[in-house]
Amino acid sequence: MSIMIGLEVHCQLNTESKLFCSCEAYPKDAQPNSSTCEICLGYPGTKPVINKKAIDHVISIGLALGCRINPESYFSRKTYFYPDMPKNYQITQYEVPIASEGSIEVNGMKIRIRRVHLEEDPARILYADGNLETASHVLVDYNRAGTPLAEIVTEPDMKSPKEARAFLEKLSTILEYLKVYDQSKGASLRVDANISVDGGERAEVKNVTGFENVEKALNYEAVRQQNIVRLGRKVERETRHFDEVAKTTRTLRKKEFEEDYGYIFDPDLPVLDISDEWKSKIEKGMPELPDTMVKRFSKQYGIGDYDAKVIVYTGRDFASFFEDVCRIYSKPKAASRWMINYLLKSLNWRSERISQSRASPDTFSELLAMIDKGEITERYAKEIIKEYVDTGFRPSDIASRSGPKPSLQGLRDIVKKVIKDNTKAASEFAAGKNDALAYLIGAVLKETGKRGDPKEIAKMIKKEISNASVAQ
Ligand code: ADP
Ligand code: MG
Ligand code: ZN
């Protein structure tokens, strides 16, 4: 059965103050309801004053997604009655948004963007002693009320939950590169996911956070709807809620109960005129976007498209770490291999971004140089990375704790001793068994505290064993 998915993504924009007042947008460690004023609490007689930075951000999102920037757009009031919205309407854009009709490519598929508009975030509702369905009462935190949101609406172009997730991963990276969205300040992306099967009615799963959750919610919905169709029944148009614990979706409201929002133009806000000069100023100030960076990395550093993609899409901080390493250390291919295969794994294991971690381009480059000089084995380097990410100690300090690198003569003595202690393995190797060599190298490295170049050690072992057989 064919699946159609369209997403509405709400991105909390990176501004100092809220959309229509001067309250702090992302107050740190603030008490609930402390970052509020008459405007974001919707007192009668107050008037909104728009935050220009938020408009700048939506223009740059529109441009990055290949949209047309509308020279005139409007603000409207979306009327509904709910405690998260004290004015009883939300200021949003309805008829004409700031940006329309763009697209991005995700794994070779074109996903059309219908619109990008600006709106205010409602307050946060906390279900005090349960969830949406079981809580006996709710708490409301108006610190979030009035935070600027960009809403990005796609056409229903995605054909599987997996594709929807890939789209979100790509979109969020673009938003991060544009610096319009800063997770470290507590900003988040919330998704309304629309899905239908075989041309039937669609369900909209509201307010899902986390891309894995979006994929799970959509998978659940796909199966649910396909089962209904298989039974010869019709899927109803409805709004559903995703239960993060049970990983299932449930009816929130049916189409016939869906509110009529009664949009009207907001008389308090003027028509938004975006001149060509404004647009081109934003365009000129736009940073390099991920896809352009992938092409540049692949060419400039000769690391290939796959590695370039992993580095760039891991995040802006990871990409600039790579470039910083390449300024100090001259082998980009090795840098990329060690960053992707080992550094990134250790970071992921700690759920840490590189910018929050103790790793630095300086000390990481030092580690790579130590491998090149044969001061540490690759295997030991992998262990050092784990400790390095955990503690931030210099790789050279971690390595020197296991003693200085043995001298050539010292290494030869250790090789001799190991061969004497492991006569069985030595004679097996002499008889042509290669596994025995690996075993002997391991035994030598154990003695040296993992210091010494395995290739050099192998050479010494071979030499010692062949000398011994000549002597016999
Ligand atoms: P409405 O205006 O009723 O909210 P829209 O047509 O504006 O509906 O679409 C809202 C979202 O739903 C968009 O992201 C769109 O891509 C998606 N959508 C529309 N029709 C379908 C469908 N048949 N299946 C899945 N998603 C859909
Ligand atoms: Mg909607
Ligand atoms: Zn305020």
Q: What is the pLDDT of residues 327-367, one digit of tens each?
A: 999 999 999 999 999 999 999 999 899 998 999 999 999 99
How does DSSP classify residue 158? Answer: B
Structure tokens at 42: 């919707």
Alpha-carbon distance of 185 to 281, in angstroms, equals 26
Quick one: which of 425, 420, 432, 436 has its CA closest to 468? 420
Please list the residue range(s) of the chain that carry CATH number 1.10.10.410.
408-471
**Ligand 1 atom closest to Cα of 157?**
16
User: Letter for the amino acid at 17?
Assistant: S
Lowest-confidence region among 68-77, 210-219, 252-261, 440-449: 252-261
Mean pLDDT value of segment 230-241: 92
Q: What is the pLDDT of residues 182-223, one digit of tens each?
A: 988 889 999 999 999 998 999 999 999 999 999 999 999 999
Residues 101-142 have pLDDT tens digits of: 999 999 999 999 999 999 999 999 998 887 777 888 889 999
Kindly give the number of the ligand 1 atom that is closest to the alpha carbon of 155: 16
Q: How far is the C-alpha of 221 from the C-alpha of 87, rounded, in Å?
A: 34
Query: pTM of whole model > 0.85?
Result: no
- Ligand 1 pocket member 7 (CB < 6 A): yes
Nearest CA to ligand 1 atom 11: 6
What distance in Å separates the CA atoms of residue 270 and residue 262, rounded to the nearest whole number?
Answer: 20
128 neighbors 138 (Cβ within 8 angstroms)? yes
| 434 confidence band (pLDDT: 50, 70, 90) | confident
Asked if residue 472 has pLDDT above 80, the reply is no
Q: What is the reported pLDDT for 469? A: 65
Strand-pair category, 189-197 with 3-12 = antiparallel
Per-residue pLDDT reduced to its tens digit, 269-310: 999 999 999 999 999 999 999 999 999 999 999 999 999 999
* Whether the predicted pLDDT of 381 surpasses 90: no
pLDDT attached to residue 402: 63
Which position has the higher pLDDT, 382 or 132?
382
Check residue 432 and give its pLDDT: 85
Query: Which option is the CATH number for 408-471: 1.10.10.410, 3.40.80.10, 1.10.40.50, 3.40.50.300?
Result: 1.10.10.410
> Three-class SS of residue 299?
helix
| pLDDT band with cut points at 50, 70 and 90 for residue 404 | low
User: In this predicted structure, what is the pLDDT of residue 256?
Assistant: 55
Looking up tokens 């309304």 gives 192
User: What pLDDT score was predicted for residue 394?
Assistant: 85
- Which region, left, alpha or beta, applies to residue 305 given φ > 0 means left and ψ of -120 to 50 means alpha? alpha
**Residue 417 and residue 447 in contact, taking contact as beta carbons nearer than 8 Å:** yes
CA 403 to centroid of ligand 1, rounded, Å:
65
Half-sphere exposure of residue 193: CA atoms within 13 angstroms, side-chain side = 36
Q: Residues near 309 by Cβ (< 8 Å), separated by ≥ 6?
A: 294
Distance, in Å, from the CA atom of 189 to the CA atom of 14, rounded to the nearest integer, reads: 12
Query: How many angstroms does the Cα of residue 204 sit away from the middle of ligand 2?
Result: 8
Q: With both helix axes pointing from N to C terminus, report the angle between 52-64 and 161-177 in degrees, rounded to the nearest 10.
A: 130
| Ligand 1 atom at minimal distance to the Cα of residue 195 | 25
Residue 245 pLDDT level (bands cut at 50, 70, 90): confident
Q: How far is the CA of 44 from the centre of ligand 2 (A)?
A: 28
Instruction: Say if residue 471's pLDDT is above 60.
Output: no
Does ligand 1 have an atom closer than 6 angstroms to the CB of 155? yes
Residue with tokens 């959509």: 218
Q: Which residues contact 170 (CB under 8 A, 6 or more apart)?
A: 104, 106, 290, 313
Between the CA of 185 and the centroid of ligand 3 the distance, in Å, is 18
Q: What is the pLDDT of residue 49?
A: 96
Q: CA–CA separation, 461 vs 410, rounded Å?
A: 14
Give the H/E segment covering residue 39.
none
Cβ of residue 195 lying under 6 Å from some atom of ligand 1: yes
pLDDT at 457 over 90: no
**Cα(163)–Cα(211) distance, integer angstroms:** 11
**pLDDT for residue 104:** 96
Please indicate whether residue 4, judged by its CB atom, sits closer than 6 Å to ligand 1.
yes
Q: Which two tokens mark 183?
A: 């997770």
| pLDDT tens digit sequence for 15-43 | 999 999 999 999 998 999 999 999 999 99
The pLDDT tens digits of the residues spanning 42-62 come to 999 999 999 999 999 999 999
Lowest mean pLDDT among 81-85, 92-96, 215-219, 222-226: 81-85
**261 touches ligand 1 (CB under 6 Å):** no
Q: Which residue has better confidence, 103 or 243?
A: 103
Residues by chain with Cβ below 5 Å of ion ligand 3: 21, 23, 37, 39-40
What is the DSSP track for 171-211?
Answer: HHHHHHHTTS--GGGT--EEEEEEEEETT---EEEEEEESH
Q: Of 275, 324, 266, 271, which Cα lies nearest the Cα of 77?
A: 266
Number of the ligand closest to the Cα of 86: 3
| Residue 68: per-residue pLDDT | 98
Q: How far is the CA of 156 from the centre of ligand 1 (A)?
A: 6
CB-count burial class (<10 Å; 0-12, 13-18, 19+) for 184: exposed
Residue 194 Cα to ligand 1 midpoint, Å, equals 6
